[in-house]
């Protein structure tokens, strides 16, 4: 079955760029949306953005100016870049898979999450 695993630094400095990768094992990137979500105690679950297997992206308007999501089908992974970090970007970052809306639309596979602290 499909598994997702986030990787990246646990600590970043203000003003720097955070780069996280989500490795996909047990399945292909095709036909799904690939999501980045973050969670903080104060703001709960926040959708950052998503990409499909052909590279079409959609971003949260509140983060759009700072976010880039990309996909690498050769490595079966997708990535998140978030620049101009502030302490408010400290969160648990999750990657997830979303079924197309016409087939249900739910996020059915999640990574375990990676904690990022900006300090």
Q: Does 110 bind other proteins (CB under 8 A)?
A: yes
How far apart (Å, rounded) are the C-alpha atoms in residues 84 and 14? 7
The structure tokens 């490595």 sit at: 75
Positions 24 through 63 that interact with other proteins (CB under 8 A): 44-47, 58-61
Q: Does 104 bind other proteins (CB under 8 A)?
A: yes
22, 58, 88, 105, 112 from 63: Cα distances, Å: 19, 11, 12, 23, 23
Other beta carbons within 10 Å of 56: 10
Q: Does 108 bind other proteins (CB under 8 A)?
A: yes
Closest CB to other proteins among residues 111, 118 = 111
Q: Does 18 bind other proteins (CB under 8 A)?
A: no
**Where along the sequence are the contacts to other proteins (CB under 8 A)?**
44-47, 58-61, 94, 96, 98-99, 101-102, 104-108, 110-113
């Amino acid at each position: 079955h499909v598994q997702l695993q986030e990787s990246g630094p646990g600590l970043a400095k203000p003003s720097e760029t955070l780069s996280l990768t989500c490795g996909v094992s047990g399945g292909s990137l095709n036909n799904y949306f690939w999501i980045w979500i973050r969670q903080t105690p104060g703001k709960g679950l926040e959708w950052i953005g998503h990409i499909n297997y052909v590279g079409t992206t959609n971003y949260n308007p509140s983060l759009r100016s700072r976010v880039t999501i990309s996909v690498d089908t050769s490595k079966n992974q997708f990535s998140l870049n978030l620049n101009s970090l502030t302490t408010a970007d400290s969160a648990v970052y999750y990657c997830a898979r979303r079924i197309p809306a016409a087939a249900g639309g739910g996020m059915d596979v999640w990574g375990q999450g990676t904690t990022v602290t900006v300090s």
